[in-house]
Amino acid sequence: MALGEERTNVVILGSTGSVGRSALSVIAHDGAARLRARGLSAHSRWEPLLEQAREFRPRFITLTDPTAAAGLNGQLRGTGIELLTGPDGLERMVQDPETDRVLSAIVGAAGLRGTWAALEAGKLVAIANKETLVVAGPLVMDLARRRKATVIPVDSEHSAIFQCLRAGTPREVRRVVLTSSGGPFRGKSRGELKDVTPEEALRHPTWKMGPKISIDSATLMNKALEVIEARWLFDLRPEQIEVVVHPESVVHSMVEFVDGSVVAQLSPPDMRLPVQYALTFPDRVAGPCPRLDLSHRFSLSFEPPDRETFPCLELGFEVMRRGGTAGAALNAANEAAVARFLDGQIGFLDIPRACRAALDHHSFDPRPSLDDLWKVDAWARQEVARWST
Ligand code: NDP
Ligand code: MG
């Protein structure tokens, strides 16, 4: 879209979260030049949603937890903003004819429904909600193809790969290398991880994110999910995907082409950049993000991941190779285990154990329907809820 043309109407699913707030910061910086918030959603936290609604004046807001809507009672009177509730509200916002782009930034498999509805309506979907692709990658990408919808990654690594891929054709790609900060426990031994607390695990060295992905970053499950995400998003073969630890989080990922050239994307760690790129793609515009400061000496380092201390990473590679229902089992077990760890019910090292157990005991189906995937999801959550250490 060139300046002076119509503005892009954006629906943000999960606007009260960390990625959602990054998106609103991009929209605020844009000053209504090209981007406009058309719909916002939260699950239950109506107060920050109301504040966002007052500032950005969207056409709709949705609270997916209908019981939370009572808090908003009457507060939108006279604003022209319509309050919707439940998952149907998400569908209504994303399928609205005036909605141009949808940012999928709900956390967990709960993000699948709104993402699916947006793709079904043929919208451009900026996808941060990696769990959707982990659970149902092949079905989601197939739906996008059938409905001629566009999927643009927001996860920083996948945004980097997406940008780097523009340097060649798909047949010219040898491999993609996802970078990982290594999380807050890089360099620690398994023994040292036994008794870590949720507070310690939540303290990420380079990124400020929501609690679930912060724990995933500490176990390296986040990288495991990203490996699976990359496979489906970019239609890669499993052997084309690798992970390297890069603690500075400046190189967001790399693509190696068949001639040996490696193309990387660099920027200071700030989610507003990949969010903005997905909202303005194919254009690049000046935004609120800090620039890379090359005026003083600094170095970038890379090291192989410690697969023994962080067994989640291996689970990701295994699930990426297996496909089928494996992603749904892994993702649901992980969501349930992370919630129990945050509640103080299980230890840090129990997270990979619970995921391993769910993967080993679920009844694998190589070509599941969406319904089959939801059944595996529910089964794995139940198993982990009953799981005792
Ligand atoms: P947050 O926990 O910060 O925010 C989650 C958002 O989803 C909130 O708006 C929350 O609403 C809403 N939500 C939670 N549960 C539900 C539900 N059951 N139904 C509907 N909405 C729900 O998450 P993040 O912003 O950190 O992450 C969002 C997604 O983006 C995740 O998939 C994550 O993996 C991915 N991502 C995040 C990055 C980051 O930097 N944070 C980087 C790359 C990817 P409420 O406020 O009411 O709870
Ligand atoms: Mg990432």
CATH of the domain at 205: 1.10.1740.10
Number of H helices, E strands in the chain: 15, 11
Domain boundary among 103, 128, 153: 153
Measure Cα distances from 214 to 23, 202, 204, 208, 384 in Å.
19, 5, 7, 8, 20
Does residue 244 sit within a domain?
yes
Q: Tell me if 13 CB under 6 Å of ligand 1.
A: no
State in Å: Cα 167 to ligand 1 middle. Answer: 32
Check whether residue 64 and residue 110 sit in a common domain.
yes
> Can you give the pLDDT at residue 5?
64
> Can you give the pLDDT at residue 206?
86
Check whether residue 125 and residue 174 sit in a common domain.
no
Check whether residue 201 and residue 249 sit in a common domain.
yes
The sheet that has 150-153: what strands, in order across it? Answer: 82-85, 60-63, 35-42, 8-13, 101-104, 124-127, 150-153
> Can you give the pLDDT at residue 331?
98
Q: Which of 22, 107, 222 to mutate to test the pocket of ligand 1 (most atoms within 8 A of CB)?
A: 107
Does residue 60 sit within a domain?
yes
Check whether residue 56 and residue 183 sit in a common domain.
no
Does residue 273 sit within a domain?
no
Check whether residue 114 and residue 166 sit in a common domain.
no
Check whether residue 139 and residue 164 sit in a common domain.
no
Check whether residue 144 and residue 178 sit in a common domain.
no
Give the chain's residues under pLDDT 50. 1-3
Does residue 108 sit within a domain?
yes
Q: Tell me if 153 CB under 6 Å of ligand 1.
A: no
- Our CA angle for 312, 217, 164, nearest 5°, is 95
The pLDDT tens digits for 276-295 are 999 999 999 999 999 999 99
Does residue 119 sit within a domain?
yes
State in Å: Cα 78 to ligand 1 middle. Answer: 29
The pLDDT tens digits for 61-81 are 999 999 999 888 789 999 999
User: What is the tally of structural domains in the chain?
Assistant: 2
Check whether residue 108 and residue 193 sit in a common domain.
no
CATH of the domain at 105: 3.40.50.720
Which residues form the domain of 165?
160-265+302-385
379 backbone dihedrals φ, ψ, rounded to 5°: -60, -50
Check whether residue 144 and residue 185 sit in a common domain.
no
Other CB atoms within 10 A of residue 215 CB: 25
Check whether residue 76 and residue 164 sit in a common domain.
no
